[in-house]
Amino acid sequence: MPNRKKTKKVMTVEEILAHVRPTPMVETGLGSKEKIEIIAQKFTEIMQVLGMDLSNDSLQETPHRIAKMYVNEVFSGLNPENFPKMTVIENEMEYDQMVSVQGIQVLSVCEHHFQTIHGVATVAYIPSKTVIGLSKINRIVQYFGRRPQVQERLTKQIADCLQYVLKTEHVAVHINAKHYCVIARGVQDAGSSTATSDLRGHFKSKAETRTEFLKHCAMQFS
């Protein structure tokens, strides 16, 4: 077999995100510092309405802490600048079997009540002409999780992104997560979890590929 030079292709964030179903958003024109300042002001008002004493040493900085947490951490996936650098390399080994990453931590926030979503994901693909560094799959999950979300959209955003980046039809995403809007309010059921899947290409059309993937999903709970 002739030697082939390993090549890397770097894609722009705009190019990738244009092929991912969007989170409902509007352009505010605000930078991170401005967002933190405004959110801190608004959260001060919320705490005052609740009757919290903001002169207390323990509470004085809470609005600012929450604002920084929202912008820089919990909702950092709303900022395209935080999208991980995506590079793919030529599939020079001509690998044509499943690549699966199990037990990826999912941390997000329910957009209906702003309560935590916490779970695990299994993500798999069958390479075509390119492959991706394994940590990039974790970072894709993390990026789209760091938004106000519904689990169904999160599942599809991960699949959309991976399918476009790798130029393969054969992608699968499974998420099993607990929703604190179910645990901490409403029905207050701490025992249930929610599972979502997006199976594409052979993962959907071929029973043996689907079965193999679902076994990988079960492995993370064994």
- Is residue 179 part of the annotated active site? The answer reads yes
Residue 83 lies in a domain: no
- Is residue 110 part of the annotated active site? The answer reads yes
User: Strand, coil or helix: what is 159?
Assistant: helix
> What integer pLDDT is reported at residue 7 of this predicted model?
56
Catalytic pick among 15, 45, 112, 152: 112
Residue 44 lies in a domain: yes
Catalytic pick among 92, 111, 169, 212: 111
Total of domains in the chain: 2
- Is residue 111 part of the annotated active site? The answer reads yes
Beta-carbon contacts of 146 under 8 Å, excluding residues fewer than 6 positions away, are 73, 74, 75, 76, 77, 78, 82, 107, 108
State whether 109 and 151 are in the same domain: yes
- Rounded distance between C-alpha atoms, residue 44 and residue 63, angstroms: 6
CATH number, domain with residue 131: 3.30.1130.10
- Rounded distance between C-alpha atoms, residue 123 and residue 84, angstroms: 17
What angle do the packed helices 32-50 and 62-69 form, to 10 degrees? 130
CA-based nearest residue to 122, from 131, 134, 132:
134
State whether 64 and 100 are in the same domain: no
State whether 97 and 203 are in the same domain: yes
State whether 188 and 151 are in the same domain: yes
Q: What strands lie across the sheet with 148-149, from one edge to the other?
A: 148-149, 99-110, 116-125, 171-179, 194-199
Instruction: Count CB neighbours of 52 within 10 A.
Output: 15
State whether 58 and 156 are in the same domain: no
Name the residue range of residue 99's domain.
89-219
> What integer pLDDT is reported at residue 11 of this predicted model?
83
- Is residue 73 part of the annotated active site? The answer reads no
State whether 70 and 119 are in the same domain: no
φ, ψ dihedrals at 160, nearest 5°: -55, -50
- Residue type for position 163: Q
State whether 34 and 97 are in the same domain: no
Catalytic pick among 92, 113, 118, 220: 113
Residue 22 lies in a domain: no
> What integer pLDDT is reported at residue 222 of this predicted model?
56
Residue with the two structure tokens 């901490």: 184
Residue 208 lies in a domain: yes
State whether 106 and 207 are in the same domain: yes
What is the mean pLDDT for each group of 10 consecutive residues in the chain (222 residues)?
Answer: 55 94 97 98 98 98 98 98 93 96 98 98 97 96 98 98 97 98 96 97 98 91 60
Please say which residue of 49, 74, 99 terminates a domain. 74
Catalytic pick among 110, 157, 174, 202: 110
Strands (E) across 22-90 are located at 87-90
Which residues are paired to 119 by β-bridges?
Answer: 106, 177
> What integer pLDDT is reported at residue 1 of this predicted model?
43
Catalytic pick among 170, 179, 202, 216: 179
What is the pTM (predicted TM-score) of this model?
0.94
State whether 53 and 142 are in the same domain: no
Torsional sign, CA 106, 108, 110, 113: positive
State whether 98 and 137 are in the same domain: yes
Catalytic pick among 142, 151, 157, 163: 151
State whether 62 and 114 are in the same domain: no
State whether 41 and 116 are in the same domain: no
CATH number, domain with residue 1: 1.10.286.10
Catalytic pick among 115, 181, 212, 220: 181
